[in-house]
Chains A and B, each alone.
Chain A
Amino acid sequence: MIQVHEVRKHFGAVQALGGVSFTAQDGQITALLGPNGAGKTTLLRLLVGLLKRDHGSIAVDGVDPAVHPIAVRANIGFLTDQFGLYERLSTREYLTYFGELHGMGKPALAARIDEVSTLLQMDDILERRSKGFSQGQRIKVAMARTLLHRPRHLLLDEPSRGLDVMSTRALRVALAALRDDGCCVIMATHVMQEVSHLCDDVIVIAKGFTVAQGSPQQLCERTGIASLEDAFVSLVGTDEGMLA
């Protein structure tokens, strides 16, 4: 479970987060919606302890990432907006590297690599070096890295971008399986269809503030608008985010 309360963060004169509060439950997929520049990346970086907040509290299963970043990261799978592949390593070597950084032993790691590879349907690229991988292949490798150490929490920044229909479906199946396992999944996305299909809970942030939290249905009811996309635009207060 991830609890965020009144978190603020500013860089110099720029206020990135002015007051963000939400709770992401275990066994749920929570969507993080917000226009570009709303502070999503800053929020995710705060959650893994890469940045320190100015105000408020954050607890990841009761642990504060600002105090114990290593303990929190060991229990988080973080898919950033960059894939972070190494062109001179094969997919298996790449996954082994990150698995070892998470303290996984050799036999367990090998078994787990095969497991995530099957889950994400990426057996064909397991022994290949990542040079020349397609966008879809890259994101699969990054996703495999995120899931590798069986984290209880997943922070995913637009996980389905660049994926074809089949891969998107595979990803949805994987995420649903993780939810059923009791994982706490936070997913930043711009795809409304994905949110209505997959997510149990939605957090809407705009200009550094949480403006709403609830199930997709609740958000529609609250705004009195039937389509989630229109509800989102109405909550954010402008349609500039959707154009950007």
Chain B
Amino acid sequence: MKPRFLIVFLKEFRETLRDRRSLGLLALFTFIYPVMLGYMLNQQIERATRPEREGIALSVIGAAKAPTLMAMLKQKNVTITDLPPTTDEQIEALLHGRKIAAVLRLSDNFTADYAAMRPARIELWYNSASDLDARRRDIDEILQVYSSNIAGARLLAHGVSPTTMAPIKLQRYDTGSTAARSAGVIGSILGFLFFPAFICCVSAAVDSTAGERERRSLEVLMSQPAHAWELIVGKWLAAGALSVIGITLELALAHAILIWLPLEEIGMSWRVTSGDLALVCLVSMPLCMFAAGLQIAIAMNAKSFKEAQSTLSFISLVPMVPGVVVSMLDLKTATWMYLVPMLSNQTLLREISKGESVGSLPFVLTFASSAIAALAAVAFASWRMKSERYVLAV
């Protein structure tokens, strides 16, 4: 005879496979998340590897009025395209195309004003929402330099030293490197890789407890010759199995993407071998089972599917807190971190991704901490289901 928890497991699992909502969540987090991650990183790599000042594209209206300025811009590697007189709307449309960094418009009486030493008006049109806005600042700077050069020449013509115009000399030093910027990025990416452990099982956990209670089939089930723990364990295994499948697929896919991307370009590393990853997947199984156990222990007390879902959407965020706190406080990796479910998995993967050998203790601790928490959650749920107060509320 099949053990009863196995019977419950098989039935719940079959039911879940027929539930589009569960499968949808599973697919969303296993496929879309790693792909999104790959896309974001790829964007970052492209941006980092794009040569600096690689031709800033600038459109100018009335370029012929200021040949010196144009010469200076070209010298600074700005590609200039001449535009015929254009309306404001056309300029806006041009900037929204995000091909050019900015548009310069020289006013009609630019030449006359310039010759008469009145301020000659130049309009700088730009789109601050575009990622080309940094380039616009370069153009800004060039214009400033041009302006002070002319001012210097005019002062010199009047017998005044141009240095009067420059009471201070500013020199900028930027110590931020792409590598330092990316270090934070990989931390947060790894943190979120384990989040689906809590998402993939939520639908099954809620449906098999609060859902069954709402549909009033739980009393029937509890009147069968099966112990409360057998029912709970069956439901727990079914929900946990979804998370295990989800996390394993997701980690494998993320691994494939991270290996394929030239991460060294942005100072990140992914020195994880497939063997390492298999081990990480293995020690993440208890995390999945903990997620399922915790959700069942909580969801079974809710009177309806909706109530359980709203409670769980909050609870599922709690395991992320230690990881966020550690990265905010910028704590160094310590052994205690391997004792906190979720944080332990994040820390383990981060250390491995640096290419460091971590030894076996972190693996064992990561596995054991979640496994113990999972068993505690299941024990609590079984105890709860047996209690008279629960029977009455069903």
By a beta-carbon cutoff of 8 Å, the part of chain A in contact with chain B is 11, 45, 48, 50-52, 70-71, 73-74, 76, 78, 80, 82-89, 93, 97-98, 100-103, 105, 142, 145
Residue count of chain B within 8 Å CB distance of chain A: 26
1/0 contact string of B16-57 vs chain A (CB within 8 Å): 001100000000000000000000000000000000000000
Query: What residues of chain B lie closer than 8 Å to A100, measured between beta carbons?
Result: 2, 7
A153 to B4, CA, bound (A): 22
Interface residues of B in 203-246 (CB under 8 A from A): 215-227
Take A51-B391, A100-B2, A105-B1 as given contacts and tell me if A84 and B216 are in contact as well, using a CB distance cutoff of 8 Å.
yes
Closest chain A residue to B224, Cβ basis: A101
A49 CB to closest chain B CB (Å) equals 9
A218 to B256, CA, bound (A): 81
A27 to B191, CA, bound (A): 66
Partner of A86 from the list B4, B7, B217 (CB cut-off 8 Å) is B217
A36 to B226, CA, bound (A): 30
By a beta-carbon cutoff of 8 Å, the part of chain B in contact with chain A is 1-2, 4, 7-8, 11, 14-15, 18-19, 215-227, 388, 391-392
Sorted nearest first, the 7 A-B pairs with minimum C-beta distance are: A84-B220, A84-B217, A82-B216, A73-B225, A74-B225, A88-B18, A100-B7
A74 to B218, CA, bound (A): 17
A230 CB to closest chain B CB (Å) equals 34
Closest chain B residue to A97, Cβ basis: B11
- Do the beta carbons of A86 and B225 come within 8 Å of each other? no
Query: What residues of chain A lie closer than 8 Å to B222, measured between beta carbons?
Result: 50
- Do the beta carbons of B11 and A78 come within 8 Å of each other? no
- Do the beta carbons of B4 and A50 come within 8 Å of each other? no
- Point out which of A50, A73, A89 has the most chain B C-beta atoms below 10 A from its C-beta: A50
Partner of B388 from the list A48, A52, A82 (CB cut-off 8 Å) is A52
Query: What residues of chain B lie closer than 8 Å to A103, measured between beta carbons?
Result: 1, 225
Query: What residues of chain A lie closer than 8 Å to B15, measured between beta carbons?
Result: 86, 88-89
In the assembled complex, 26 residue pairs joining A and B whose CB atoms fall closer than 8 Å, in A order, are A11-B392, A45-B391, A48-B223, A50-B222, A50-B223, A51-B392, A73-B223, A73-B224, A76-B223, A80-B219, A80-B220, A82-B216, A84-B216, A84-B220, A85-B215, A88-B15, A88-B18, A88-B19, A89-B15, A97-B7, A101-B7, A101-B224, A101-B225, A101-B226, A102-B224, A145-B220
